[in-house]
Structure 1
Amino acid sequence: MDATNHNQNKSSSGIWGAAFAVMLAISGVLGFLLFQEKQETDKQSTEISIKARDLAITHSKLDSISRELDAKIAQVQQLGGNIEELQKLKVQLEADKAAVLKNKNVSVAKYEKKIKEYEAILTQKDEDIARLQEENGQLTNQNQQLSQENTTIKTDLDNTRRSYSDSVSTLRTNNKELEDKVTIGSALRAENVRVLAVNKRGKERSNDENEYKGRKTEKIKVAFTLAPNPLTKEEPKDILLRVVDPEGAVLSDTETGSGVFSFQGKDMQYTYKQSVRYSTNRPIVEMLYTRGQDYKKGKYNIELYAEGFKIGEGNFVVR
């Protein structure tokens, strides 16, 4: 009985030992699997973090290139270069930036290659910009040179115009002086001016002293000869007579044909006007003036004018 129980207890102990061994083995396997899964999870988490970091760096590089590209576009445009190619590149770059943010499974290596291509293009554009700056510098120098030449030409032209204007002005002055000389040269000249007294009966009296009695003088006759002048046109000429009394007043009466004329820029009164046909054969002119009242005593001066010139003078005395 005791032996039987002993054997039964021994058999039970073996079963429990075997079961424990199996459970221990299973636990070991499960622990190993759990450990392996944890390592795999940690590895994936690490890879995701690295990928996220790499994508962030890639996007940052693309963004930096985008800003640099904007600066290049502005420079090329300012220098007058063609920006069409750079604008297309800008569109492509913005699309790449958006793709990096949108898709987490993109290839970082692929975009690293693109970044190098973008950087190479920017480097090339630096060379193009340097070339444009040099060309613009040359154009600026040429423009400055042309501007200086234009200034010189304008100055020369202004000097030429001024010289021409001065020459024309001098020529006009000379012509005016010549015209004045010709005009002066063509002026009439009264010779042998004599004054005769005419009484109421029409009888003329004259003497070498040209002295007459006032009560016997109703009219005066001024006689003279027009000297020949080849520069003077043979045509009718208006002769103006001025009779100045002893007090310096001009005898004037519109009813007897008096009026006003211009002489040397001043308006002057004349006593009497008569039209005379001028010729070169020394015509004799007689101008008869009727005052209509007695002459007061004193010396009277006679002045003769024609075509803006004083052509002769004389005098007479009333006693």
Structure 2
Amino acid sequence: MEEQTNIQKNNGKKSTGMLILIAVLAVVVIGVIIWGVGAVKEAHQEKILKEKQRTEFEAQLDSLMAIHNKIKVEYGQLSDSLAMKDSIIQARAREIKKMMNYKWEYYKIKKKLRALQKIAQGYVMQMDSLYTVNHALTKENHQIKEVLQQEKQKNAQLQSEKQQLKQKVEQASILHTYNFEVTAVHVTGAGRERKTDKVRRVSKIKVCFTVASNAVALPGNRTIYVRIARPDKKILVISDSEKYSFMFNGKRLQYSAKKTINYQNKAMDVCLSWPRRSTQELKPGLYHVDVFEGNYTIGQATLKLR
């Protein structure tokens, strides 16, 4: 009986131990489950945090590069001088983007992003400095151009005034004539000269005038040319040879008579004659006489023959 009682007591102890073991195992399992759920939740939250950080970094990077590229466009060709720095910025931006997509290291990415921001800020500062210098140079260049333009205008004005003065001096130095006397002359067999107004009796035509005094004109030898035109405007010439011609304002003209005088700024009388050749025909009517010196017509007169 006592032995049976001991057996029952032992069985009771075994059952209690088993219950305790089951209870401990249940607690452990529940703890593992709770820990697992917590770990999953934590991993999910960490994933959400990483995604949020990635989004923030991407936004910062995109904003930084958008501003950088906008600055490049705004500064135009001036940005070409900082092409090397721009290439560094572009390369680092690509490196950061690659790290965000394939290898997540929060503090490393954050550090690189901050470094990139500093480089970009330095780029802007250098660009502003270049712009300031370029603007100053452009302004200085504009001022220099304005000064040069003003000097050109002054020079042009001086040249114009000089040319006008030269023209005035040239005009003032032109010889002038007066007291014209144009006479048709008949030379007798005895060699005497007599005035005539009959075409058939004309042996020569004399043109006499006075050259006026002119203190401005250069003294020295002056060549006077006379052209006598018939009523039909044909010029009475000594010969058709080019030898009896002269240049007048770029044109070659035949002359009727020529004489070189020594002009000394005082009034002087001058006479020239056109000798008629036996083969030359004269016509009744009004003859026009023009006197030339240099590139100027210095006198005009007429002669009427019948």
TM-score, normalised with respect to structure 1:
0.61
Which runs of structure 2 are paired with 1:3-22 in the superposition (5 Å)? 15=4, 18-22=6-10
Aligned counterparts of 1:309 and 1:180: Cα–Cα separation in 2: 13
The equivalent residue for 1:274 is: 258
Residues 120-160 of structure 1: per-residue CA shift (max 9 Å, x gap): x89xx7xx99xx79x97xx69x96xx969977994x76765
The 1:312–1:39 alpha-carbon spacing in structure 2 relative to 1, beyond 3 Å, is: same
5 Å matches for 1:201-216? 203=191, 205=193, 207=195, 211-216=196-201
2:169 is matched with which residue: 169, 182, 189?
Answer: 182
**C-alpha contact (below 8 Å) 2:222/2:263 kept by paired residues:** no
Paired residue for 2:29, among 41, 62, 67?
A: 41
Equivalenced residues, count = 270
> Could you tell me how far apart the structure 2 residues matched to 1:148 and 1:61 are?
50
Note the C-alpha offset of 1:214: 1.2
Q: 1:226 aligned to 200, 211, 215, which one?
A: 211
Whether contact under 8 Å (1:219, 1:289) holds in the other structure is yes
The aligned runs of 1:1-319 (5 Å cut-off) are 15=4, 18-72=6-60, 78=68, 98=104, 154=142, 163-199=150-186, 203=191, 205=193, 207=195, 211-247=196-232, 249-251=233-235, 255=240, 257-258=244-245, 261-262=248-249, 269-272=253-256, 274=258, 276-280=260-264, 282=268, 284-290=270-276, 292-319=279-306
Contact persistence 1:303–1:310 (CA under 8 A): yes
| Unpaired stretches in structure 1, ≥5 consecutive residues | 1-10, 100-113
Unaligned regions of 5+ residues in structure 2, if any?
72-84
Larger Rg: 1
- Asked if the contact 2:209–2:271 (Cα under 8 Å) also holds between the matched residues in 1, the reply is yes
Structure 2 vs 1, CA of residues 50 and 175 (structure 1 numbering), >3 Å: closer, same or farther? same
Structure 1's 38 and 235: CA in aligned 2 closer, same or farther, altered over 3 A? Answer: farther
Q: Measure, in 1, the Cα distance between the counterparts of 2:298 and 2:152.
A: 37
8 A contact 2:226–2:255 mirrored in 1? yes
Cα gap change, 1:313/1:64 in structure 2, threshold over 3 Å: closer, same or farther?
Answer: same
Taking structure 2 as the reference length, what is the TM-score of the superposition?
0.63
- Rounded to whole Å, the distance in 2 between the matches of 1:204 and 1:177 is 51
CA displacement 1:168-215 (0-9 Å, x = unmatched): 3433332222111111111122343333435577946455xxx52211
- Tell me if the contact between 1:303 and 1:314 (Cα under 8 Å) persists in the aligned partners: yes
CA distance in 2, matches of 1:27, 1:290: 174
Distance 1:183 1:149, change over 3 A: same
Structure 1 residue matching 2:41: 3-state secondary structure: helix
RMSD: 4.9
Instruction: State the percentage of identical aligned residues.
Output: 15
Aligned partner of residue 41 in structure 1, secondary structure: helix
**SS of the residue aligned with 2:235?**
coil
Residue type at the aligned position of 1:286? L
Give the letter for the 1:272 counterpart: S
Name the aligned partner's letter for residue 278 of structure 1: N
CA distance in 1, matches of 2:31, 2:21: 15
CA contact (8 A) 2:206 2:271 kept: no
